[in-house]
């Protein structure tokens, strides 16, 4: 599971107006900050949780009563208070993680679930509570894969042997003009020191994209 962070400098630019840090027992609803997206092809889809950290930081600042305006930072003590507030927000963020199951090899119609992993003890120390309702989603919209037969795959592949036995070599050329097939590479399991009667196996390597 990957985190996609959309910070855009919010922590450094978060508006603060009074160095009041409190709010014991304040609750942040994480469902406001999380969504799950599914991409790929039918049967090979992948689910990924996207977290809007900008929004989470704003909610945390509000619930923790952490506000600072630039005009309030007049001396090193004020700056220190601002840094402490931002550090507390960062620690609160680190209390939370998400996982989606299943995440790979998805097909249309599959059911996926997003769950939260919360460090309740650390959150309690910071005076914050998190709530999250599991996100359940049915996979849809995945495109059907293009099916290419082995005959089509090798139709325009030329395999040539050069030199003399037992020191012959093999050369492989992909002559396809098809947009997809022309991007496929082919390799032989033996490229040199080939003698008459040897069997050489040519394998296609499909680009992941």
Per-residue pLDDT tens, the chain, 209 aa: give them.
Answer: 334 333 433 444 443 433 333 444 578 999 999 999 999 999 999 999 999 998 988 888 888 777 655 444 444 444 445 566 678 888 888 999 999 999 999 999 999 999 999 999 998 888 889 999 999 999 999 999 888 899 999 999 999 999 999 999 999 999 999 998 999 999 999 999 999 999 999 999 988 77
Predicted pLDDT of residue 8: 35
Among residues 163, 173, 181, the alpha carbon closest in space to that of 202 is found at 173
Predicted pLDDT of residue 58: 87
| The token pair that represents 199 in the structure block | 């069997």
Residue 182: partners with Cβ closer than 8 Å, 6 or more residues away: 174, 176
Predicted pLDDT of residue 208: 74
Residue 149 backbone zone (phi > 0: left; psi -120 to 50: alpha; other: beta): beta
Among residues 147, 162, 120, the alpha carbon closest in space to that of 43 is found at 147
Predicted pLDDT of residue 46: 96
Predicted pLDDT of residue 67: 65
Predicted pLDDT of residue 83: 60
Q: How many other C-beta atoms lie within 10 A of the C-beta of residue 37? A: 12
Residues constituting the chain: 209
Among residues 108, 106, 127, 93, the alpha carbon closest in space to that of 44 is found at 106
- For 62, list phi and psi in degrees, rounded to 5: -65, -50
Predicted pLDDT of residue 82: 52
Residue 142: partners with Cβ closer than 8 Å, 6 or more residues away: 38, 39, 40, 41, 42, 43, 45, 106, 107, 108
């Amino acid at each position: 599971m990957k985190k996609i962070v959309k910070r855009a400098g919010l922590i450094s630019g978060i508006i603060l107006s009074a160095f009041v840090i409190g709010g014991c027992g304040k609750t942040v609803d994480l469902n406001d900050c999380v969504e799950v997206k599914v991409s790929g092809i039918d049967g090979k889809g992948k689910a990924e949780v996207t977290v809007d950290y900008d929004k989470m930081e704003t909610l945390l600042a509000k619930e923790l009563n952490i506000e600072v305006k630039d005009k309030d930072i007049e001396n090193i003590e004020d700056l220190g208070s601002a840094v402490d507030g931002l550090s507390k927000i960062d620690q609160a963020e680190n209390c939370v993680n998400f996982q989606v199951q299943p995440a790979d090899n998805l097909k249309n119609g599959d059911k996926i679930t997003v769950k939260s992993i919360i460090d309740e003890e650390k959150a309690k120390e910071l005076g914050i509570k998190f709530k999250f309702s599991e996100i359940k989603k049915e996979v849809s919209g995945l495109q059907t894969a293009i099916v290419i037969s082995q005959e089509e795959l090798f139709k325009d592949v030329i395999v040539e042997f050069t030199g003399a036995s037992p020191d012959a070599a093999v050369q492989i050329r992909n002559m396809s003009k098809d947009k997809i097939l022309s991007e496929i590479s082919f390799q032989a399991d033996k490229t040199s020191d080939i003698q008459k009667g040897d069997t050489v196996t040519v394998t296609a390597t499909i680009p992941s994209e």
